[in-house]
Structure 1
Amino acid sequence: MRQYRLLALDLDGTLLNEHGEVSEMNAIWIKHAIDAGVTVCASTGRGFQGAIPIVERLGLDSPMITVNGGEVWSKPHSLHKRTTLDSDKVIRLHEVALKHPDVWFWAYSTEGLFNKDGWTDDPASKVWLKFGYYSEELSLLEEILKEIGVWDGLEITNSSPNNIEVNPQGVSKASGLMELCRLKGLDMSEIVSVGDSLNDIAAIRASGLGVAMGNAQDEVKMVADVITGTNEEDGVAQVIQQYVLRT
């Protein structure tokens, strides 16, 4: 039996190159992994609607983790578990965003994506999953982080150095993978997790093999077991060849 039975892949900055594409080499080696009996799982901060085109393009019929673990899918279009972010917290997070007019903000709900260009008139009526801020000015993000970082009930990470992502406390890609382990009869030691940003750290720490991309943030590289190539160097394909399918 293979040491690793599930490969959890972040999408942006990991599986996808800077053009938002899956390289031919990555696609080929993902197919090799599937043919060898390895489950390949998208594990992303994206919402379901943003992740499913990539999953379907690869022909995956496997579990998915979306919105940083807020949703766990037993397979595409089959929701297993959802953890929501209280609407009162979203209202407060939105109020913080409005105090910083140069910062972009967005939030995922079960109805879809709302953002600065299209916010809802009735946020209390929505079922929320995640809230985010984006700015090229890191000092603005630091101000926001200083304010919301002391609130109770939040899990705060990022998916790039230029954003802040907010989930309910305890929700992470690691919690999503632990739920999949319960569902599929796996152990976390049998999982390889690959990522590049702070929202990948919990999964990288908890998995049997935690892999940081060559383009990962320094904090991610510090906690990873190994570092692979960048997302422009088919780093995912390298992981599959060197670790997942190694006999």
Structure 2
Amino acid sequence: MPHETGTLHRIDAVALDVDGTIAGADHVVSARTAAAIAAVRDAGIPVFLLTGRSRRSVLGLARELGLRNRVAAANGSVAFDPVTDEDTRVATMSPADVAAAVALHRSTGLALTWWERDTIWVDAAGLAADELIALGEAPDAIRVGDPSGIRPDTTLKMMLHGTPGALDAAAPEVRAALPDAARSMDTFWEFVAPDAHKWAALQHLLDGRIDPAHVLGIGDGGNDVPWLSRIGHPVAMGNARDEVKALARHHTLHHADDGAAVVLEELAARLPRPRR
């Protein structure tokens, strides 16, 4: 899809997904994208991270990018201040939803992973853990556990992992059991508390002081649809899922081609230069 940002009027904040968006095909934020984020940040525009990555991963990334405003991790289940490392919002899963996700794991044969504040659990060593590490999660944060011992009061999110075909085949059963499930990536079904999606997290981050109509957001996955559909300037990556492209007002290049940087560079060029 060709680059087409359209007209960017009155941007008071920027919200960014990470994997498939500001992170490249290697799951690392490129120097170009980091510089574009810095240019927007230095112009006085808050840059909010809204990602499914773990809290630990997002803390490191936010500090690398020099962000001083609050950010959200685990698909919106936790928000925190990267400067003080203090949580400002935590939403854990209900016992019923945890039980439903475990039942889906057993009936579909898909791998299961469940996330706590500092630990990512997997039901077995293998492809799910390998993909999480490839996505930038720390190997020492991933542990093998027994799904029967999951504690809902500490569980931020759960995911089923498998091939795209296996996840497609499981879709009717997943939707029937957990209607709010999101296809965060082609290989993951993702479950969080009803009030823990990215839109709820973004509302928390905006804190009533910034109108969503004046937010520019960039994303690529199904779990980006609820919040992108409610802001003034939703941008779809070239690699975005069809449902994201359908709602976007603006489109950019593939994440492997620094598509997010293209949009942020254009925005930064329109903003007043910071005083030195």
Shared fold, TM over 0.5: yes
The one-character-per-residue Cα deviations of 1:194-213 (angstroms, maximum 9, x if unpaired) are 11100111111111210110
Alpha-carbon separation, structure 1, partners of 2:26 and 2:230 = 30
- Work out which of the residue numbers 124, 141, 144 in structure 1 matches 2:170: 144
Higher relative contact order (CA 8 A, sep 6+): 2
How many Å apart are 1:73 and its aligned residue? Answer: 2.0
Match of 2:138 in 1: none
SS at match of 1:150: helix
Instruction: Decide whether the 8 Å contact of 1:13 with 1:231 is kept in 2.
Output: yes
Instruction: Decide whether the 8 Å contact of 2:98 with 2:152 is kept in 1.
Output: no
Alpha-carbon separation, structure 1, partners of 2:221 and 2:13 = 20
Q: Does 1:60 align with 2:62?
A: no
Match of 1:12 in 2: 19
Q: 1:230 to 1:74 in 2, by over 3 A?
A: same
Q: 1:111 to 1:126 in 2, by over 3 A?
A: farther
What's the TM-score once normalised by structure 2's chain length? 0.80
Match of 1:235 in 2: 259
In structure 1, give the amino acid aligned to 2:12. Answer: R
Alpha-carbon separation, structure 2, partners of 1:40 and 1:25 = 16
Q: 1:125 to 1:81 in 2, by over 3 A?
A: closer
In structure 2, give the amino acid aligned to 1:21. Answer: V
User: Which stretch of the first structure deviates more once superposed, 16-25 or 103-112?
Assistant: 103-112
Structure showing the higher strand proportion among its residues:
1
Match of 1:198 in 2: 222
Alpha-carbon separation, structure 2, partners of 1:64 and 1:169 = 19
Match of 1:87 in 2: 95
How many Å apart are 1:25 and its aligned residue? Answer: 1.0
Match of 2:134 in 1: none
1:126-141 matches, within 5 Å, as 126-138=153-165, 140-141=166-167
Match of 2:231 in 1: 207
How many Å apart are 1:16 and its aligned residue? Answer: 0.5
Q: Does 1:47 align with 2:71?
A: no
The one-character-per-residue Cα deviations of 1:167-210 (angstroms, maximum 9, x if unpaired) are 12243211111112226x11112211111100111111111210
How many Å apart are 1:125 and its aligned residue? Answer: 6.3
In structure 2, give the amino acid aligned to 1:107. Answer: W
Instruction: Decide whether the 8 Å contact of 1:64 with 1:73 is kept in 2.
Output: yes
Q: Identity, % of aligned pairs?
A: 23
SS at match of 1:146: helix
Q: Does 1:162 align with 2:162?
A: no
In structure 1, give the amino acid aligned to 2:174. Answer: I
How many Å apart are 1:126 and its aligned residue? Answer: 4.7
How many Å apart are 1:98 and its aligned residue? Answer: 2.2
The one-character-per-residue Cα deviations of 1:65-108 (angstroms, maximum 9, x if unpaired) are 1111111224452211111111332133112212333x222111
Q: Does 1:96 align with 2:104?
A: yes
Instruction: Decide whether the 8 Å contact of 1:70 with 1:176 is kept in 2.
Output: yes
Alpha-carbon separation, structure 2, partners of 1:68 and 1:40 = 16
How many Å apart are 1:228 and its aligned residue? Answer: 1.0
Q: Does 1:224 align with 2:248?
A: yes
In structure 2, give the amino acid aligned to 1:150. Answer: A
Q: 1:243 to 1:142 in 2, by over 3 A?
A: same
What's the TM-score once normalised by structure 1's chain length? 0.89
SS at match of 1:99: helix
In structure 1, runs of 5+ residues without a counterpart are none
Q: Does 1:78 align with 2:102?
A: no
Match of 2:197 in 1: 172
